[in-house]
Structure 1
Amino acid sequence: MTDGPGTRTAEGGRAWALLMHAALAQAVTFVLRPATAYRALELDLSPAWLGVLSGTFALAPLVLALPAGTIVDRVGERRVMITGGFLLTVAGGTFLVFGSTIPGLVAASIVLGTAHLCAVVGQQALVANTTTSGKLDAAFGYYTFAASAGQAAGPLLIVLFGGSQAIPDTTPVFQGAALLAVVVFAVSFAIVDGSRTRERAPAATAGVGGLLRLPGLPRALLTSCVVLAAVDISLVYLPALGAERGIASGVVGTLLTLRAVSSMASRLFLGRLTRWLGRKRVLLISIAASAAGLAVAAAPLPIWVLAAAVIVAGLGLGVGQPLTMSWLAESAPPGMRGRAMSLRLTGNRAGQVLVPGTVGLVAAGLGAAGVLWVTAAGLAWTGFAARKLRVDSPPEG
């Protein structure tokens, strides 16, 4: 695993701990979030309030992301990831004990969001601080592949724990997720800090304002948040498109799976792609592919064409996140990579809140296809803006 998530981590035999932590933390999160919606429906919460309940998960990342990054830079990734694992366990217990009421679900969702924030910021900073510059693309590709695997496994675990009925029995789902959270907490203790963070941290005095002044940083953050918002939009509006056109839900589910798997494939081979074509060219091609794929998917075409378009979009959408991570890790001064990752996370969460609603308003009256077309146009514009980014990494040493 010569170009995996950090040569120092790999040499210490701890790469497995990072990848397992990433996959399991995402799996627990992607079990609990839909299970929360199911439990809310069991409690007769109106659909109009489901979005409000879902939004409580993002409250902590919006408010605490930047302080969390500062803490990572000061005390190390391991302690923050242990905290994330502990809070994930607390969240699972809160869902079990207090999840029979709406206020209990809100409290548990806030704890879950905080746990997810600690885990993700620590993981991303650890990759950044234990990987040599020329291997960052491959490292973040492997890392996001593991996270995507956890995200894909999460919904399947709902069927495993809760059955296949329309609204599953959420109590065993919460129990199973709580057990997995305990495993994440245990794995956290196998994490080894990125030594370079502590060695060079005193040199990092510029603060977040200094990060924001890095050349090209606003474009990189914009690229990251638009790509992530496009993923969220595809998750919501591909099913809506299927409903409008009478496409069976099983077919739509297959399409969503194809999108996820193709994104994972592009991340798995990201290091090779950037060594072959260069980071900037891969980034621009991926954004163009995602824009073209979503635009074609919105057109009234046969299912096989729709499937091909979704695969192309998935390949493109899988690249934007790890590439902007690796560029930001490379650009941030030593001792500030935790803050750099948290700054990116803050922008992503803001984009997830603002972009889908804005796109929906712009495309009002055009249906799901209109939303996908507007999203494709937004991606195309983002790709045009990203052409000025100087993101190519130095040669591997």
Structure 2
Amino acid sequence: MKSRELLRLVAAQVCVHSAMTGARLAAPLLALQLGYSAAQVGVLLALFALSPVILALPAGRLADRHGLRVPLLLAIGAAMLGTGLAAAWPRFGMLCAMALLTGASAGTAQIALQRHVGRAVAHPSELKTVFSWIAIAPAMANFIGPLITGLLIDHAGPQPAHETGFRVAFGVLALLPLACWALARGAPERPLPPPGPRDAGKSVWDLASVPLLRRLLMVNWLQAMAWDVHTFVLPILGHERGLSASTIGALLGAFAIAAAGVRMALPLLAAKLPEWQVMYGATLLAACALMVYPLMPGALAMGACSVVLGVALGSVQPMVLSLLHQVAPPGRQGEAMALRVMTINFSSFLMPMLFGSIGAVTGVAGLFWLVSGALALGARAIPGLQVAEPPKVK
């Protein structure tokens, strides 16, 4: 794949994904301002992951059958509709609708773009490099979306966090997906492989029959849970400590910059280390960062922990995608990507509600320490992710 084409696809995913990440910052802040409880905010945040759980498999099959353009157009339309509804009617019901639509948009675009770049490489040795670059997109979107949204919420209205600021923020987020189409529409489609006779009538659960794939999905789920607890707790923790929306957005942005920065360095590191070793070190580092995070006294110290956590979790996704693409049978990469998206988004749907309930008992510190312990225990499974040869699906 040419570097220019790859960079355009990275920028395209940044645009459509930023609509979701910005909405995910604004929605809980507006809900808290409207008087809704932390448990209700947890339900709202969970909705961002519900639609990808439901639509991941159809989106993966759609990408396998039609390539890049059709799923990408649907993703762009969903993102614009969701943020447009919230801009017009900034009420809790519309925030829920926005969460469902922007979550579906981000998940569909991610599956289509990751499948596209994975099939574009000439040799499996290039997978870690291209996935390191395409994985920069969500990290950059986690910086751009919250930062722009936080600034607009604080400064576009007559006073910080005024309803007008939220309306303007949602309106700007609705325009970002248009840039995605302008960047990605010229990407050359790769020839679609004909469906093989062995794939006829196969379900996605046949992919899950591969032991290595099951182990990989479990490890990826633990790391996604660590990402989710940071995303869920930080707005609530910042609200409790009196931090402004801009400061909370900057803290999330520091996490995202670190995740993007480490992914830019990964092609050099990954050339010398196998995927499982990178994942093992990153998981242990994330466990340590979560252990000390709730002990940080102010925004600067919290930002330092966000950077460390971003470095750790940001290095994982390219390695997971590289292994996943090697495991998936030809012509079913979209389904394999969808199975991963469905797994981690089901966690993102369920975890915020559990976090809200558990946090009411243990407090913020208890949530961080619980996930830290889960990561430390789960790290023992990572050395088993060594790939000798692509396993066959029965």
Structure 1 residue 211, shift from structure 2 partner: 0.9
Q: Cα deviations across residues 317-365 of structure 1 (Å, max 9, x unaligned)?
A: 1122221111111110111011011100010011223345556766775
Confirm whether residue 166 of structure 1 aligns to residue 161 of structure 2: yes
Q: Which amino acid aligns with 2:111?
A: V
1:202 and 2:196 are equivalent in the alignment: yes
Q: Secondary structure at the match of 1:276?
A: coil
Would the aligned equivalents of 1:94 and 1:104 in 2 still touch at CA under 8 Å? yes
**1:262/1:393 CA distance change after superposition, 3 Å:** farther
Match of 2:134 in 1: 143
- Cα distance change of structure 1 residues 73 and 45 upon mapping to structure 2, 3 Å threshold: same
Aligned equivalents of 2:31, 2:359: Cα separation in 1: 29
Relative to structure 1, the CA distance from residue 285 to residue 203 in structure 2 (aligned partners, 3 Å threshold; closer, same or farther) is farther
Percent of aligned positions that are identical: 27
Distance in structure 2 (CA, Å) of the matches to 1:57 and 1:178: 16
- Whether the 8 Å contact between 2:279 and 2:319 is mirrored in structure 1 is yes
Indicate how the Cα distance of structure 1 residues 47 and 352 shifts in structure 2: closer, same or farther if over 3 A, else same. Answer: closer
Matched, 1:54 2:50: no
Cα offset, 1:122, TM superposition:
0.8
Between 286-295 and 155-164, report the one with greater CA deviation. Answer: 155-164
Kindly indicate whether the alpha-carbon contact (under 8 Å) linking 1:82 and 1:188 is maintained by their aligned counterparts in 2: no
CA distance in 2, matches of 1:247, 1:277: 43
Contact 1:85 1:188 in 2 (8 A): no
Q: How many pairs are equivalent?
A: 381
Q: Distance between the aligned counterparts of 2:302 and 2:107, measured in 1?
A: 35
344-353 or 107-116, larger mean C-alpha shift: 107-116
For residues 363 and 381 of structure 1, do their structure 2 counterparts lie closer, same or farther at Cα, with a shift above 3 Å needed? farther
* 2:108 equivalent among 105, 110, 118: 118
Of the three residues 371, 379, 385, the one matched with 1:383 is: 379
Is 2:78 aligned against 1:87? yes
Q: Would you say the 8 A contact 1:24–1:180 is kept in 2? A: yes
Structure 1 Cα separation of the partners of residues 70 and 334 of structure 2: 13
- Map of 1:220 onto structure 2: 216
Preserved contact between residue 293 and residue 309 of structure 1 (Cα < 8 Å)? yes
Task: Report deviation, 1:22.
Answer: 0.9
2:23 pairs with 1:32: yes
User: TM-score, structure 1 length as denominator?
Assistant: 0.83
- Give the letter for the 2:368 counterpart: L
1:344 to 337, 340, 345: 340
Deviation per residue, 1:360-382 (Å, 9 max, x gap): 76677543222222211111111
Q: Which residue does the alignment assign to 1:275?
A: 271
In 1: Cα distance, 2:36 partner to 2:176 partner: 27
TM-superposed deviation, 1:35 = 3.3
For 1:45 and 1:374, the matched residues in 2 are separated by 26
User: How far off its partner does 1:103 sit?
Assistant: 3.8
Output the CA distance in 1 between the equivalents of 2:48 and 2:292: 33
Q: Determine the C-alpha separation between the residues in 2 that align with 1:105 and 1:357.
A: 17
SS of corresponding position for 1:166 = coil
- For residue 258 of structure 2, the aligned residue among 249, 256, 262 is 262
TM-score (normalised: structure 2): 0.84
CA RMSD of aligned residues (A): 3.2
Distance in structure 2 (CA, Å) of the matches to 1:388 and 1:363: 33
Question: Taking structure 1 as reference, are residues 117 and 54 closer, same or farther at Cα in structure 2, changes over 3 Å only?
Answer: same
Q: Which amino acid aligns with 1:136?
A: L
**Correspondences of 1:60-75 after superposition (within 5 Å):** 60-75=51-66
Contact 2:50 2:346 in 1 (8 A): no
- Output the amino acid matched with 1:375: V
State the SS of the aligned residue for 2:272: helix
Is the contact made by 2:147 and 2:253 (CA closer than 8 Å) also made in structure 1?
A: no
Q: Which of residues 285, 289, 294 in structure 1 aligns to 2:290?
A: 294
- Residues in 1 aligned to 2:73 and 2:146: alpha-carbon distance in whole angstroms: 25
Contact 1:72 1:80 (8 Å CA) reproduced: yes
Cα shift at 1:257:
4.1
Query: Of 327, 330, 350, which aligns to 1:334?
Result: 330
Q: Deviations over 1:44-94 (max 9, x none)?
A: 656553333333333321211112111111111222112212322333433
The one-letter amino acid of 2:108's match is C
The 3-state SS of whatever aligns with 1:293 is helix
- Deviation of 1:153 (Å): 0.6
- 2:228 is the alignment partner of 1:232: yes
SS at match of 2:196: helix
